[in-house]
A = this chain, B = another copy of it.
Amino acid sequence: MSGSLVVVGTGPGKAELMTPATLAALAKATDLVGYGPYLDRVPVTRRDQRRHASDNRVELERARHALSLAAAGREVVVVSGGDPGVFAMAAAVFEAVETGDPVWRMLDIRVEPGVTAMLAAAAEVGAPLGGDFCAISLSDNLKAWTTIERRLRAAAEADFVIALYNPASKARPHQLVQAFEHLRRIKSGETPVLFVRAAGTADAKVITTTLAAADATQADMRTLVIVGASTTRRVGRWVYTPRSEGTAS
């Protein structure tokens, strides 16, 4: 077993948000495996490095391919966007290990953390994640919509700040509409809502609105939505959630 597998995230997009540890792993790899647009972010540092680009929907298959390459002695890096452990490839790799060839369990596997989308989105607008928060993916490709609804209600009732990953796609235009409906039943209409598109890139765009006025059609696949807690507030062009529960003092 001379091969290895490292799972990395390229961060939100800008090269300046990719960690040196991730860059070093990428430079050392003989093989890169990932969704094409993420591979395109990786600078070419070796002419002998093979790139295995795949479609976005085949995560488990891609993970198995990467593990096979590592088992054959290659130095493989699996490339995600953001942080690889948040709605990305790391979980798919370990699922493939659990359900695949027993020799894969003996491989040298490592995960390198990165800057996940909600942190980049929060930084664009101030500090909306300043208190307790949760992260929910609205994609029901892999879980029931009823589970998502239950988590939205629980998060609203316990007054977490809520970061919504994968809020909408062409195949799923209605889920964010429904999510806002659930949240409006529990939270004040004045709650700040942020649509942050392409956070952590040169094209970042922020819409700051309220839960009452939030228009779900303003989200697409590159948008991260943050719904504030009861304490989340605007100050000038910024939005933040105070560390304390009371009014700012």
A residues whose Cβ falls under 8 Å from a Cβ of B: 7, 11-12, 14-21, 24, 59, 83-87, 90-95, 97-99, 105, 109, 111-116, 119-120, 122-124, 126-137, 142-144, 147-148, 150-151, 153-155, 157-160, 200, 233, 235-236, 238, 240-245, 248-249
Contact = CB atoms under 8 A, between A and B. Distances in A.
Given A158-B151, A235-B97, A113 B200 contact: yes
B113 A17 contact: yes
Given A115-B19, A235-B98, A91 B160 contact: no
A113 to B, nearest CB: 4
Q: Which 10 A-B residue pairs are closest in the complex by CB-CB distance?
A: A91-B130, A134-B134, A154-B158, A90-B127, A94-B240, A16-B21, A111-B123, A142-B244, A113-B119, A98-B235
B136 A94 contact: no
A18 B16 CA distance: 10
Contacts of A112: 123
Contacts of A133: 134-135
Contacts of A20: 15-18, 20
Nearest to A143: B245
A157 B134 CA distance: 14
Contact of A90 (B11, B99, B130, B154): B130
